[in-house]
Amino acid sequence: MIKTKIHQSRNISKYVPGLLIILMVFTTGCTASNTSQNVRKTDNVPAVKGPYELAAEQNIPSVVSYQPPEDTLRFINEPIFKFNDIAYRYVLSPLASGYENIVPEPVDKSISNFFYNLREPLYAINHLLQGDIRSSGKSIARVLINSTVGVLGLFDAADNLVDVERNKTTFGDTLASYGVGYGTYVVLPLLGPSDLRDTASLTFNYFAHPLNYINDDEVATQLLLADGVQAQIPILAQYPNVLADVENPYEFVRNLYMQNLLRDGQTRRNEVFKTEEQKKTSLNPVLKPDTTVE
């Protein structure tokens, strides 16, 4: 057993530079849930609703303004960002654009479906850790359907045939569901913008990946590389265009990442503070009759 682990570690170490590319995340992460104080009902006095409950009822975003984040690690982040920027513009983005031009869209879609199917057990585990047994069961069902009817996951038969949609989630989402804050903004070499919570989740997501448990270590590592690179191709291909007219690329990317992080966190809070009736309505919307007079 020890000899096998050492052999595996040596094989994986050869691919460390490539693995960095795998884990590049531009827009991941969700913010921590800030709990609201609930006021219990008395005999004739209704419960006082908090701001997130009101926002959920009115279907309005609770992030109405945005202040620049505290970038305490900027002295480290900015040099790493400049290194990443050069690598993206002159190496990774041209490669991604070439891939999109050469590979037909149906083939690319099948490749994407294949790797999503491999990651589906991770979604099931994280849904279970988040206490969402229903979503965890759906992810397991998707694996079974797509691995058989979907020809090893090349086709999303679960969605197309039985309407079981993919519900992606990460260990970072799991940590957020337990109230773990995102910590601070960080930029990782080649991985791009992130935060401490999602950075910590990378280890879990990597070692829990089903590919780590196949017999051929070299094949597993190559598939992991292909998985990560293929998933980031659309982002890499558009990178130079997105930042073409941006005066300060570092602050632009940082602010965009943090806005997405905070927005997703507010969305989670709105769901938490919805009443049971509101949740039922969102799952089974009532169709109102058309009263338009022609």
| 257 in Cβ contact with 27 (< 8 Å) | yes
**What's the pLDDT at 266?**
59
What is the pLDDT averaged over residues 1-5? 43
**What's the pLDDT at 218?**
84
Name which of 65-79, 160-174, 278-292 the model is least confident about: 278-292
Q: How many other CB atoms are found less than 10 A from the CB of residue 264?
A: 18
Identify which has the larger pLDDT, 232 or 57.
Answer: 232
**What's the pLDDT at 204?**
83
Residue 55: pLDDT band with limits 50, 70, 90:
very low
**What's the pLDDT at 207?**
83
What is the pLDDT averaged over residues 33-58? 44
Identify which has the larger pLDDT, 31 or 50.
Answer: 50
**What's the pLDDT at 88?**
94
Closest to 114 (Cα-Cα) out of 150, 168, 165, 164? 150
**What's the pLDDT at 29?**
38
Nearest-5° angle of CA 157, CA 279, CA 181? Answer: 85
Residue 230: pLDDT band with limits 50, 70, 90:
confident
**What's the pLDDT at 50?**
45
Would the pLDDT of 259 be above 90? no
**What's the pLDDT at 252?**
92
Question: In sequence order, which ranges of the chain are alpha helices (DSSP H)?
Answer: 2-13, 16-22, 51-58, 74-87, 93-102, 105-129, 133-148, 157-162, 171-177, 196-207, 217-242, 249-272, 276-283
Residue with tokens 């130079």: 240
* Top-confidence range, 61-75, 85-99, 195-209, 278-292: 85-99
Instruction: Please tell me the distance from the alpha carbon of residue 28 to that of residue 261, in angstroms, as a whole number.
Output: 7
Instruction: Please tell me the distance from the alpha carbon of residue 140 to that of residue 273, in angstroms, as a whole number.
Output: 28
Name which of 205-219, 256-270, 277-291 the model is least confident about: 277-291
Instruction: Please tell me the distance from the alpha carbon of residue 18 to that of residue 13, in angstroms, as a whole number.
Output: 10
Contacts 24+ apart (CB under 8 A), 97-101: 97/237, 99/233, 99/237, 100/233, 100/234, 100/237
Residue 154: pLDDT band with limits 50, 70, 90:
very high
Instruction: Please tell me the distance from the alpha carbon of residue 143 to that of residue 159, in angstroms, as a whole number.
Output: 11
Three-state DSSP at 255 gives: helix
Would the pLDDT of 98 be above 80? yes
Would the pLDDT of 291 be above 90? no
Cβ partners under 8 Å of residue 54, min gap 6: none
In tens, the pLDDT along 57-93 reads 554 444 445 566 778 999 999 999 999 999 999 999 9
Instruction: Please tell me the distance from the alpha carbon of residue 60 to that of residue 65, in angstroms, as a whole number.
Output: 13
Angle between helices 249-272 and 51-58 (to 10 degrees): 90
Closest to 218 (Cα-Cα) out of 12, 23, 4? 12
Q: What is each CA distance from 251 to 41, 68, 239, in whole angstroms? A: 46, 9, 15
Exposed, middle or buried, 238 (CB in 10 Å: 0-12/13-18/19+)?
Answer: middle
| 69 in Cβ contact with 258 (< 8 Å) | yes
Element (H, E) at 193: strand 192-195
In tens, the pLDDT along 128-152 reads 999 999 999 999 999 999 999 999 9
Cβ partners under 8 Å of residue 139, min gap 6: 120, 121, 123, 124, 127, 167
